[in-house]
Amino acid sequence: MPENTSTPLHLAVALDGAGWHPAAWREPEARPAELFTARYWADLAAEAEHGLLDLLTFEDGLSLQSDDPFAPDARTDRVRGRLDSVLVAARIAPLTRHIGLVPTAVVPFTEPFHLSKAVATLDFVSSGRAGLRVKVSARPDEAAHFGRREAALLRLDEPDTPQKLATLAEEFGEVADYVEVLRRLWDSWEDDAEIRDAGTGRFVDRAKLHYIDFTGPRFSVRGPSITPRPPQGQPIVASVAHRTEPYQLAARSSDLAFITPHTPHDARAALAEIRDAQQAAGRGDETVHVFADLVVFLDDRPGAAADRLARLARLARLARLARLNDSSGAEYRSDARIFTGTPSELADLIEELAATGLTGFRLRPGALPYDLERITRGLVPELQRRGRFRTAYEASTLRGLLGLPRPANRYAATAATAATAATV
């Protein structure tokens, strides 16, 4: 077992349908008839909060799920269809008290003004526990829903070419601009802009609402927001990073990056690239958390999780044979490392990877609710025993849980400077 450094770690869980394995909806414990009900998601959130987890992320997209990450498929033996992740998080927020709620937004096709007020509203509804994961799309079928622009033709599984690198730089540059607009809109109301003085009839101080006047290559936003500054000042912004361009986005624009290392060497290399880019972006003194993603299949008995994964593969293979008389494509693959084992063995792996400098882990349960319960009732107690995880919630906001300060309002500082200059 790796040496215990007693440094507390952060834990997140990524929720998606019946679990991350495509055949998980056929497991005995699965609840496929409830995937589109509020109770299903509320029960998962309650279990995660019982385990004192830092945050939940909710997957989302603008097209039906597909085994091909770059194009639709016609499969009917997989979970297809989703609820809107921001609305799911907003429904869960009043039913939870501590855990962070981080929905996903596909940013190229959604307006930053609309998204900023939706996430600000989530922060109010949750009393300061909101975040947002920005997701890039390069799928033509998603662009076709909107008709305003064509999707960039990107396949990250193909070799890099000068054109591909230029397109990647342009697309991720746009996402960085998008996040900048979100942050400016969240700051466009000063914290004390609301007066609420019935005696004088003044509800708001209009001088403390600010135009953001952002202009970029693909959109411009004047502001201000119609929603007051969120309780956290700025909700957490997260992103998934697999290579240089998203590493740079994380370093420049995110509070939290999810990476997908398969080995400690992978983790060190990704961390080094993110930290170098963070320094180059002038954020060397800021905390940017980097979590490793792991797909997990857990059981208390050694070997049982691997047996369960093999059973899920057989279900997937039988479904494909029934449809296509074709046994290919049954083996489950993921961008993240797939772990099968006991909670204690997973704790060993987490400690090994944490020694590289990672500050936390986002776990993708292979099957829900089964693997989530093994995380909260098996892994969490094991990490607590090792002194690597909290035994109680220590903060009331997501920023507090992650040890991040509440940002100062950029426009308040500008307004104060202008007022001082006017009196001189």
Distance, CA of 35 to CA of 32 (rounded, Å): 5
Contact 247, 273 (CB under 8 A): yes
Distance, CA of 132 to CA of 403 (rounded, Å): 17
Residue 299 marked as a ligand binder: no
Contact 40, 15 (CB under 8 A): no
**How would you label 89-127 residue by residue, b for 16+ Cβ within 10 Å and e otherwise?**
bbbbbeebebbbbbbbbbbbbbebbebbbbbbbbbebbe
Tokens of 201: 């009839």
**Which residue in 14, 229, 177 sits closest to 100, CA to CA?**
14
DSSP assignment of 221-233 equals E----SSPPPTTS
Distance, CA of 13 to CA of 47 (rounded, Å): 11
Distance, CA of 219 to CA of 178 (rounded, Å): 9
**Which residue in 17, 69, 65, 22 sits closest to 330, CA to CA?**
22
DSSP assignment of 101-150 equals EEEEEEGGGS-HHHHHHHHHHHHHHTTS-BEEEEE----HHHHTTT-SSP
Q: Nearest 5°: phi and psi at 101?
A: -125, 115
Residue 293 marked as a ligand binder: no
Distances from the Cα of 310 to the Cα of 6, 22, 24, 77, 303, angstroms: 35, 13, 12, 17, 11
Distance, CA of 166 to CA of 331 (rounded, Å): 34
Distance, CA of 331 to CA of 346 (rounded, Å): 22
Residue numbering of the annotated binding site: 60, 104
Binding residues for FMN: 60, 104
